[in-house]
C-alpha cells in the first residue's frame, strides 16, 4: 500500500495514479454477475449475444467495485475516507474479459470543513482505464479527509 494521504498533502490539479492494475478474467466477471448483476451481457458469451451490448462484458458495478479497490490502494486515507457523495458516474465502454484496469485520481477542489476544522473536504475525479489506455469509467466524488495533525 502506498503512503497515507491527509487533506494537507493534496493540491488542486494533482493526479495520483495506481501502481498496479487488476485483471478481470472471465470467471471473475461471471462470479460477480451471478451474485450481484445477473443480466444477460454479464452471464457468458451465449447469453450476451442477444443482449443490448451483444458482447460478454463485466457489470458496471463490478468496474466500480474494482475501481474502489484501486482507489483505496492508491490514495489510502488515515482511518479511511468518509464519502459524502458520488456524482456523474459514467461507464464509457464495456470492460471485456481479461481487461486490466488501473485508475487516475485528479484533485478537483478542496477546502477545510466549516463544521469540522480538523477535516477537509476534497472533490476528486477518478478515471478508470483499460490496458490500452482507454477510459472505461469516470466519476466525481466528495470525501471528508483528516487534516495532518499539527498541520
Task: Tell me the pLDDT tens digit for each residue of 40-61.
Answer: 999 999 999 999 889 999 999 9
In a domain, 2, yes or no: no
Stretch 12-19: mean pLDDT, rounded?
A: 97
The per-residue pLDDT for range 111-134, each reduced to its tens digit, is: 999 999 999 999 999 999 999 999
What is the pLDDT, as a whole number, of residue 75?
95
How far, rounded to the nearest angstrom, does the alpha carbon of residue 89 sit from its chain's CA centroid?
10
In a domain, 53, yes or no: yes
The per-residue pLDDT for range 89-104, each reduced to its tens digit, is: 999 999 999 999 999 9
In a domain, 1, yes or no: no
Instruction: In whole angstroms, give the CA distance from residue 89 to residue 64.
Output: 9
Question: What's the predicted TM-score (pTM) here?
Answer: 0.93
Q: How many domains does the chain have?
A: 1
The pLDDT of residue 82 is above 90? no
CB contact at 8 A, 94 and 109? no
Closest CA to 70 of 142, 139, 144, 146: 139
Per the structure, the complete domain to which residue 59 belongs is given by 7-146
Amino acid at each position: 500500500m502506498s503512503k497515507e494521504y491527509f487533506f494537507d498533502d493534496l493540491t488542486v490539479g494533482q493526479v495520483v495514479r495506481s501502481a498496479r492494475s487488476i485483471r478481470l478474467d472471465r470467471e471473475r466477471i461471471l462470479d460477480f454477475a451471478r451474485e450481484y448483476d445477473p443480466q444477460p451481457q454479464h452471464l457468458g458469451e451465449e447469453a450476451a449475444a442477444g443482449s443490448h451490448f451483444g458482447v460478454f462484458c463485466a457489470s458496471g458495478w463490478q468496474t466500480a467495485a474494482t475501481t474502489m479497490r484501486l482507489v483505496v490502494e492508491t490514495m489510502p486515507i488515515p482511518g479511511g475516507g468518509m464519502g459524502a457523495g458520488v456524482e456523474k458516474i459514467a461507464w464509457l465502454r464495456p470492460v471485456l474479459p481479461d481487461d486490466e484496469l488501473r485508475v487516475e485520481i485528479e484533485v478537483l477542489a478542496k477546502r477545510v470543513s466549516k463544521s469540522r476544522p480538523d477535516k477537509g473536504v476534497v472533490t476528486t475525479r477518478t478515471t478508470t482505464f483499460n490496458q490500452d489506455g482507454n477510459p472505461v469509467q469516470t466519476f466525481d466524488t466528495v470525501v471528508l479527509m483528516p487534516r495532518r495533525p499539527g498541520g
